[in-house]
Amino acid sequence: MTDTVRHHDAEKPETKKENQPSWLKEGSTDSEEVADFYDTWAETYDEHLKDWDYRAPTYVAELLKQYVSTEQAILDAGCGTGLAGKALHLAGYENISGIDISATSLNKADQLNVYSSLLAHDLQQPLPFHGNNYNALICIGVLTYIENCQSLFKEFCRIVKPGGHIAFSQRSDLFDARNFPDTIATLEQEGVWENIKISSPQAYLPKNKDFSDKVQAIFCICKVV
């Protein structure tokens, strides 16, 4: 457990809130550290995200609605406590599965009764699915924690049917820093997917002092070839 995680002290909620953003802003691609962090935060995650006016779940549900009909099977990759699943459910989606590395977050997601299945798994390892049983996949607020997004995107395209859609977000400060335009274009050139849309930067955590209008979210949607 890292020092930052130890600051998640139940007796000091204000201190906890003060200390979380620095880790959040910095991020990590160490899966074990990330799992510890989100396990420790799971109980109060929804409350904090609500305080920070987290907009991504609603945004992605509205985006998906333009391309994916509500009976389609969707995988929420990095579902966490289920905020995006809840938004999809409210938008009418009925066949949603979730996968995440944080078992404690998955327990919270399970309590929502919006997921037909939930699985604990590290997205930095090959995905534990044979065949392409999904019509769509969302990955929201997760890619900060992934070292090799190109490999993960290829895995996403392996498990989503041709013609299906993959929607993901990346922080505006990491989009260019981690070569997302190149990665998206390379996979298009390789005939893996077709890019449908890259959004302008959108409000992400507008009421969090570290993010506010400095770090926004860029949403992309690609169609599997």
Ligand X SMILES: C[S@@+](CC[C@H](N)C(=O)[O-])C[C@H]1O[C@@H](n2cnc3c(N)ncnc32)[C@H](O)[C@@H]1O
Contact 58, 87 (CB under 8 A): yes
Residue 38 or 219: the one with the smaller Cβ distance to ligand X is: 38
| Alpha-carbon span 170 to 161, nearest angstrom | 23
Answer yes or no whether residue 110 interacts with ligand X by CB under 6 A: no
Whether the CA torsion 106, 138, 24, 122 is positive or negative: it is positive
How many residues make up the chain in this entry? 225
Phi, psi of 155 (to 5 degrees): -65, -45
CA 38 from centre of chain: 13
Nearer to ligand X, 147 or 176 (CB): 147
Residue closer to ligand X (CB basis): 82 or 164: 82
Candidates 61-69, 97-105, 159-167, 214-222: pick the segment binding ligand X (CB under 6 A): 97-105
Using CB under 6 A, pick the residue from 31, 58, 95, 195 that binds ligand X. 31
Single-letter residue type at 65: K
Place of tokens 């109060």: 44
β-sheet bridge partners, residue 202: 217
Told to check if 102 binds ligand X by CB under 6 A, we report: yes
Comparing CB distances to ligand X, the nearer of 30 and 188 is 30
**Would you say 95 and 75 are in contact if contact means Cβ atoms under 8 Å apart?**
no
Residue 74 beta carbon to ligand X: minimum distance, rounded to whole angstroms: 13
- Taking the complex as a whole, the smallest distance from the CB of residue 185 to ligand X amounts, in Å, to 24
Q: Which of 8, 63, 78, 115 binds ligand X (CB under 6 A)?
A: 78
Residues that bind ligand X (CB under 6 A): 31, 34, 38, 56-57, 78-80, 83-84, 100-102, 105, 122-124, 140-142, 145
